[in-house]
Amino acid sequence: MNLPFKKHINGIHPYEPGKPIEEVERELGLARVIKLASNENPLGSSKKAQQAVRRAIDRMQLYPDGSCFYLKEKLAQSLGVTAEQLVIGNGSNEIIELLARGFLSSGDHVVTSELSFLVYPLITKVCGSELRMARMIDFRYSLPALLELIDEKTKLVFIANPNNPTGTYVTQKEVDAFLKQVPPHTLVCFDEAYFDFVDAKDFPDILSVIKKGRENVMILRTFSKSYGLAALRIGYGIGTPGLIDYLNKVRQPFNVNQLAQVAATAALGDRTFLMKTKQTIIQGRTFLKKALTQMGISGTPSQANFILMDVKKDANRVFQDLLKKGIIVRSMAAYGLRTYLRVTIGTPVENKMFIKALQEVL
Ligand SMILES: Cc1ncc(COP(=O)(O)O)c(C=O)c1O
């Protein structure tokens, strides 16, 4: 072929999403399949968001509001920032991409940790930039190890907090020490996709850092997890007005669809759904940790809506055996963790079904 394919892009392995429920039902002839593989909301989504989408359906011929005006107003109010400090994306994934498009050129460096979100390496490689991954300690980001990798070519640092797939987090004290040493030409992006599931007291308050005007720090959050709007694709970034203005130059004019905008705006007004989700996840997490401990299985101390666990058997095999029982989880073999699974917290019934199936399979 004569097309000018780029070598560094040809070498990329595309992101593999979790298996869809319908596919497993069809392939294995199962009537009921539960998916604990993609960190989705087990309670569905807010009824208020659903109603807002129904109301917006008869305006689908119109382009969406390119500035996400109403959503930004509402978000700004709830976060205590200005609308100029918010950029909305087609999922928070899109904002990772905006950062890469805005800041990375070939030869630049991106620093993150091993065993973290796969989209960081993916997007770095697309830009022809170099990814530097620090080692984890006990499945936790080591911020001193990240610091050692930062140099004059480092444009972006990604810290998933809590991290996917480990569920672990970095503390306020660790972040304070880290931010004192990060050079001003390096933008540190705290990816807080799982922020709403945190109950740890020493979780860092990055929002305050941004409110104080720190230019090289930003936060990413999403409506996909705690608000249950993954299918609509909507997330956001928080930063200083200067940084947000720059990212707005990089994005497409109508990057966020209207159904997502109205759903997210309505979801923000449904505190009851958010609180119920949070409670379900924290209780489910406690239940699963206890049940796993009783089975002699160690799980990471997760602050997210999933647990990384060492089943001490071939993870791909255990994944297949659970699939036959109608339970989709994630094997972590592709991360080099050959005996580990990542399991999303489900409803109380789903959590019990998972534990029972795991007992049988092991
Ligand atoms: C750490 C992390 N960041 C970002 C995302 C992307 O979320 P969104 O659905 O908003 O693109 C995920 C989703 O799995 C994630 O785990």
Question: What length is written for the chain?
Answer: 362
Any residues with CB less than 8 A from the CB of 175 and at least 6 apart, and which? 143, 204, 206
Read off the pLDDT of residues 186-241 as tens digits, 9 standing for 90 and up.
Answer: 999 999 999 999 999 999 999 999 999 999 999 999 999 999 999 999 999 999 99
Query: Over 80: is that where the pLDDT of 18 sits?
Result: no
Whether residues 285 and 257 share a domain: the answer is no
Higher pLDDT pick, 63 / 15: 63
For ligand 1, which residues put their CB under 6 angstroms from it?
Answer: 39, 91-93, 117, 160, 164, 191, 193, 222, 224, 230, 235
To test the ligand 1 pocket, which listed residue (92, 118, 220, 255) has its Cβ within 8 A of the most ligand atoms?
A: 92
Q: Could you tell me the two tokens for 72?
A: 């930004």
31 and 146 both lie in a single domain? no
Atom of ligand 1 nearest to the CA of 233: 9
Tokens at 108, concatenated? 């630049």
Ligand 1, atom 16: nearest CA belongs to which residue? 164
Residue 179 sits in the same domain as residue 303: no
Domain boundary among 247, 269, 291: 269
Residues 69 and 14 in one domain: no
| Best mutation site among 93, 163, 218 for ligand 1 pocket (most ligand atoms within 8 Å of CB) | 93
C-alpha count within 13 angstroms, C-beta hemisphere, residue 330: 24
Cα(36)–Cα(343) distance, integer angstroms: 6
Give the number of the atom of ligand 1 that is nearest the alpha carbon of residue 235.
10
pLDDT, tens digit, for every residue of 259-279?
Answer: 999 999 999 999 999 999 999
115: region left, alpha or beta (phi > 0 left; psi from -120 to 50 alpha): left
- Under DSSP, the state recorded for 251 is S
Q: How far apart are CA 145 and CA 136, in angstroms?
A: 8
- The number of the ligand 1 atom at minimal distance from the alpha carbon of 224 is 9
- In this predicted structure, the answer to whether residue 354 has a pLDDT above a threshold of 90 is yes
Residues 232, 357: one domain? no
Weakest-pLDDT range from 16-30, 47-61, 84-98: 16-30
Nearest protein CA to atom 13 of ligand 1, as residue? 193
Residue 143 lies in a domain: yes
Q: State whether 204 and 256 are in the same domain.
A: yes
Strands 154-160 and 130-134: unpaired
Average pLDDT of the chain, as a whole number: 96
Ligand 1 centre distance from Cα of residue 233 (Å)? 10
- Segments in 11-111 forming alpha helices (H): 21-28, 47-56, 69-79, 92-103
Counting from 1 in the atom list of ligand 1, the atom nearest the Cα of 92 is 10
- Which atom, in ligand 1's list, is nearest to the CA of 39? 14
Can the peptide bond before residue 165 be classed as cis, meaning omega within 30 degrees of 0?
Answer: yes
Q: What is the pLDDT of residue 223?
A: 98
Tell me: do 180 and 80 sit in the same domain: yes
- Provide the pLDDT for residue 16: 73
Q: Same domain, yes or no, for 188 and 320?
A: no
Given the CA of residue 234, which atom of ligand 1 is nearest to it? 10
Whether residue 48 is predicted with pLDDT greater than 80 in this model: the reply is yes
Mean pLDDT of 14-34: 82
Q: 87: which DSSP letter?
A: E
Q: Are residues 84 and 185 in the same domain?
A: yes
Segment 79-94, tens digit of pLDDT:
999 999 999 999 999 9
Closest residue by Cα to atom 12, ligand 1, is: 193
Residue to mutate, 96, 113, 115, 164, ligand 1, most ligand atoms under 8 Å from C-beta: 164
Say how far apart CA 109 and CA 152 lie, in whole Å: 9
Retrieve residue 303's tokens.
Answer: 């602050």
Residue 334 lies in a domain: yes
Within a domain: residue 141? yes
Residue 175 lies in a domain: yes
CATH of the domain at 86: 3.40.640.10
- CATH number of the domain at 313, please: 3.90.1150.10
Q: How far is 133 from 178, CA to CA, in rounded Å?
A: 16
Distances (CA, A) of 358 to 66, 207, 361: 47, 40, 5
115 in Cβ contact with 168 (< 8 Å): no
For residue 158, is pLDDT > 90? yes
- The answer to whether residues 167 and 195 touch, using CB atoms and an 8 Å cutoff, is no
Q: How many domains does one find in the chain? A: 2
- 39/57 same-domain check: no
Question: Which domain does 327 fall in, by range?
Answer: 7-45+272-361
pTM: 0.96
Residue range 109-152, pLDDT digits in tens? 999 999 999 999 999 999 999 999 999 999 999 999 999 999 99
Is residue 280 included in any domain, yes or no?
A: yes
